[in-house]
């Protein structure tokens, strides 16, 4: 039996500017050490109020130094992972689980139906097997306006979803696509939408 060769699903790269970040972190650590040495060296011998003020300042500086150390350690070896989305369906095409997505809305004045429709349409255009993807809309306000907007969106989706698949549209929200489409005009795409 031949072994299946698995190609990686993502690539790991080092973040640019690590040396600069480490130099800045080292200088901040040096400054923190100087502050702590100063606080320990010049303990107030005066009144009680001065001591309590000194203790409060020293404890807060220790706390923020500890917090800074924790956040810096997390960023010390920063990497970014670039996923290869097309390889996911190649490797797990038949084994992908079914996904249910719930979109909730309540008030058509606070959440305009155009925004709700854009959300639903962009989720329906995900690069995922359509038979394993279910999108549900929960309208707690029971708005007629949202209902009719979704009816129109259902008609528009018959054109929009094949368009997204055919031209591999990255911004699957119609509003975002048409806002940026004027900058990147592709005649074939526009003729396809017009038809």
Q: What is the pLDDT of residues 101-151, one digit of tens each?
A: 999 999 888 888 999 999 999 999 887 878 888 999 999 888 899 999 999
* pLDDT at residue 172 in the model: 84
pLDDT at residue 187, as a whole number: 57
Cα–Cα dist 181/115, whole Å: 18
For residue 85, is pLDDT > 70?
A: yes
Look at residue 13 and tell me whether its pLDDT is greater than 70.
yes
111 annotated to bind ligand: yes
- Residue 180's region, left for phi above 0, alpha for psi from -120 to 50, else beta, is alpha
Confidence band for 90, pLDDT divided at 50, 70 and 90 = confident
How far apart CA 178 and CA 153 sit, in angstroms, is 15
Higher pLDDT, 124 or 4: 124
- 97 touches 132 (CB < 8 A): yes
How high is the pLDDT of residue 174?
86
pTM of the model: 0.53
pLDDT at residue 2 greater than cutoff 50: no
Taking a C-beta distance cutoff of 8 angstroms, is the pair 105, 29 a contact? no
Residue given tokens 């150390």 in the structure block = 69
Q: What is the mean pLDDT of residues 65-78?
A: 92
Mean pLDDT of the chain: 85
Task: Give exposure, 121-133, as e/b (b: 16+ Cβ within 10 Å).
Answer: bbbbbeebeeeeb
Residue 84 or residue 118, greater confidence: 118
Closest CA to 138 of 124, 126, 150, 128: 150
CA distance 164 to 5: 31
Provide Rg for the chain, Cα atoms. 28
């Amino acid at each position: 039996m031949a072994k299946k060769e698995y190609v990686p699903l993502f690539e790991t790269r080092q973040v640019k500017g690590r040396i600069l970040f480490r130099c800045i972190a080292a200088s901040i650590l040096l400054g923190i050490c100087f502050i702590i040495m100063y606080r320990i060296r010049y303990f107030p011998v005066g009144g009680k109020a001065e001591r309590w003020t000194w203790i409060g300042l020293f404890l807060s500086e220790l706390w923020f130094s500890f917090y800074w150390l924790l956040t810096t350690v997390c960023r010390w070896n920063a990497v970014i992972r670039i996923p290869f989305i097309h390889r996911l369906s190649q490797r797990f095409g038949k084994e992908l689980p079914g996904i249910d997505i719930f979109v909730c809305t309540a008030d058509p004045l606070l959440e305009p139906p155009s925004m709700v429709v854009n959300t639903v349409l962009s989720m329906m255009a995900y690069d995922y097997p359509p038979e394993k993807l279910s999108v549900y809309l929960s309208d707690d306000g029971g708005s007629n306006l949202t209902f009719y907007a979704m009816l129109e969106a259902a008609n528009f989706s018959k054109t929009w979803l094949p368009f997204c698949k055919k031209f591999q549209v990255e911004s699957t929200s119609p509003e975002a696509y048409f806002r940026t489409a004027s900058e990147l005009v592709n005649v074939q795409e526009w003729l396809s939408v017009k038809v």
